[in-house]
Amino acid sequence: MIPLVIINEVTKHGFFPPLSSINLIKTTGIGESEIGKYRASKEYADLEKKYQQLQRQNGSLQSQVQEKEQKLQKLRTVSEAVCKEYEQLKHQYDVETGAMHKAMQQASQWYRQNRELKRRSQIITQKFLQTNPEDSLDLELSDEVDSNFEDFDQLRETVKELSKEIARLQTELHSARLQEFEAQEQVTHLTTQLDEERTLRQKCEEKVNEMKVQKDNMERVTKMVAEEVQALKAQCDRERENAKIMKIEAERVQKERNVLAHQSALLMAEVGDDPNGRLLTVLQEVESLKRLLEEEQQNHASQIQMLEEKLEEKESNVEFEIVEEKLKLAESELEVVTQRAERAEKSVETLEGVVQTLKAKISELEEKLSRPPPPPLPPPPPPPMFNNSGQSSIKLLTKEKMNSERNAVTDMENMLGITKKTPTVAQQPAIDDIINQIKGGRFTLKQTDKQREEERRRRQEAESAPPAVSEMLNILGTMRRRAKPIKQLLKDSPT
């Protein structure tokens, strides 16, 4: 419990003064932790009060905002109705003022006509009295207006109704025009959005196609890696089996060695009893021959193991598979380039059609402008000029296609690190055949004409092919030629 002295100090000053707190701590023996807890609790209570006060203020402000929004909505609806009514009254006022001006003009015209008619009638009566003074003309011309205004009031009411109807229809027409304008703006906005979505869709389709190609490539690579892992697992299993077999064989050989050592000890004891020493010499010769035989067997086994390791390295060599994958990638890139070229050809064809239509329209306009006032005979139509442009565009597209194919082959050569060979001068066929046979490791003294023709045909195909393809074919041939004798040697070694 906190003493009343500290509470009085806190309520008096609002905080803990340093001197008083020190004195209180000294006098009362209260720890600093209790004072800190009290301060924290007081700050927490103050913050909670402020938070509640801010919550109340927030609630009142939100209610005020809602009321203001409701008032704003009401004012908006009232202002819209007032605007519509104002437009309707304005149109009605315009119609009524126009009708009033027309009526005033008509009334003034009738008034002038009436005065003219009165003047003429007076002149006619004077002439008639002068000619016939004896006869009396009973004519009473009154300046009064007819008091029957029923038809006039009815017409005025109909005019008012029609003016109101016209004003209402004009307001509706104005609102309909506004709606039409907004609809047109919305249509233009939607058309632009549609074009943007179409372009985005085309880009997404292209990206999807590229991702599909990459996915196929990755699937091929993962399949190859899985096959290689399976092959390595099988090789590891074979090595384990061979190790087990070798261990069993070593144990058997150890047993035989122990038996032979025992037998040799017995024989040496018997040899010691032989006076001539012939048996000792025979045993020494047998031992030397056995050592030579063991050395030869070990040499042959080491050579066989070396050849097996080389064969496994050649078989498990991934470079050939990597080169094949690079070739497949180059082919896929070539397909993508051809697809782009086809799309470009289609776009060029459409543009050519547009140019042709524009040329036809321009020629028609020129013919209309160049016609003299008397219509002459129509001139012959000009020869079409778009064939050359179409042929030139097709030639350009084919050149671009060939260049793209060459670029793909050159990219593959650069990736493999193959330099482009210059075309060699044709040598004599016999010398070429001998050189090719020496390089291939299958030199023979005699060769048939059929083999020479096949070798010449292969050489011509290799020279005509790109350097990358020829290099790949040479690598395949050497790998196959090296693999055959090693396999044959492995087959013959157990026997």
pLDDT at 377: 52
What pLDDT shows up at residue 380? 52
The yes-or-no verdict on residue 209 having pLDDT over 70 is: yes
Angle, alpha carbons 474-476-481 (nearest 5°) = 95
Q: Which of 25, 36, 43 is nearest to 5 (CA)?
A: 25
Is 408 buried (19+), middle (13-18) or exposed (0-12) by CB count in 10 A? buried
Q: What is the pLDDT of residue 386?
A: 40
The helix/strand/coil state of 276 is: coil
- Of residues 494 and 366, which shows the higher confidence score? 366
Question: 232-246, 341-355, 385-399, 403-417: which has the minimum mean pLDDT?
Answer: 385-399
* 8 Å CB contact between 121 and 141: yes
Q: CA 328, CA 217: separation in Å to the nearest integer?
A: 8
- Cβ neighbors of 470 (< 8 A, separation 6 or more) are 462, 463
Residues 342, 346, 348, 349, CA torsion sign: positive
pLDDT at 196: 92
pLDDT at 340: 78
Is pLDDT larger for residue 461 or for residue 393?
461
Residue 295 pLDDT level (bands cut at 50, 70, 90):
confident
Burial of 333 (0-12, 13-18, 19+ CB in 10 A): middle
Note the residue count of the chain.
495
pLDDT digits (tens, 9 = 90+) for 395-434: 444 555 555 545 555 655 555 555 554 444 444 555 666 6
pLDDT, tens digit (0-9, with 9 covering 90-100), for 432-448: 666 666 656 554 545 55
Please answer whether residues 418 and 471 qualify as being in contact, where contact means their C-beta atoms are separated by less than 8 angstroms: yes
Q: Which pLDDT score is estimated for 148?
A: 47
The mean pLDDT value of the chain amounts to 72
The residue that leads in pLDDT, 107 or 319, is: 107
**Residue 22: pLDDT band with limits 50, 70, 90:** very low
pLDDT band at 89 (very low <50, low <70, confident <90, very high): confident
Say what the pLDDT of residue 33 is.
Answer: 77
- Candidate from 142-151, 316-325, 380-389, 480-489 with smallest mean pLDDT: 380-389
The 3-class secondary structure across 337-373, one letter per residue, is HHHHHHHHHHHHHHHHHHHHHHHHHHHHHHHHHHCCC
| 14 Rama class: left (phi>0) / alpha (psi -120 to 50) / beta | left
Write the CB contacts of 411 (distance below 8 Å, at least 6 apart in sequence): 330
Name the E strands within 175-246.
Answer: none
- Measure the CA–CA gap between 80 and 86, rounded to whole angstroms: 10
Q: What was the pLDDT predicted at 206?
A: 92
Task: Tell which wins on pLDDT, 134 or 142.
Answer: 134
Residue labelled with tokens 């697809």: 339
Query: Which positions ≥6 away from 393 have C-beta within 8 Å?
Result: 348, 352
- Supply 7's token pair: 């509470």
Q: Which of 78-87, 108-117, 251-260, 461-470 shows the lowest mean pLDDT across its residues?
A: 461-470
Report residue 51 as tokens. 């938070």
Could you tell me the pLDDT band of residue 334, with boundaries at 50, 70 and 90? confident
- Whether pLDDT at 171 is above 70: yes
Q: What is the pLDDT of residue 46?
A: 93
Angle between helices 386-416 and 467-492 (to 10 degrees): 40
- pLDDT bin (cut points 50, 70, 90) of residue 272 is low
Contact predicate 332/213, CB 8 Å: yes
Q: Please give the single-letter amino acid code of residue 230.
A: Q
Which conformational region is residue 277 in: left (phi greater than 0), alpha (psi within -120 to 50 degrees), or beta?
Answer: left
SS3 245: helix
Distance separating alpha carbons of residues 90 and 84, to the nearest angstrom: 10
Provide mean pLDDT across the span 338-343.
Answer: 78
Q: Which residues of 451-476 are buried (b: 16+ CB within 10 A; e: fewer)?
A: eeeebeeebeeeeeebbbbbbbeeee
pLDDT at residue number 381 = 52
Of 404, 398, 485, 407, residue with least CA distance to 440: 485
- For residues 435 and 488, the model is more confident at 435
pLDDT of residue 333: 76
pLDDT at 67 over 90: yes
CA distance 84 to 76: 12
Q: How many percent of the chain have pLDDT more than 90? A: 11
Higher pLDDT pick, 133 / 22: 133
Say yes or no to pLDDT of 374 above 50. no
pLDDT of residue 397: 47
> What's the pTM value of the predicted model, to 2 decimals?
0.27
Residues 23, 9 contacting (CB under 8 angstroms): no
Q: What angle do CA 348, 353, 357 make, to 5 degrees?
A: 145
CA distance 326 to 332: 10
Neighbours of 72 (CB within 10 A): 10
Q: Of the given ranges (220-229, 405-414, 463-472), which has the lowest mean pLDDT? A: 405-414
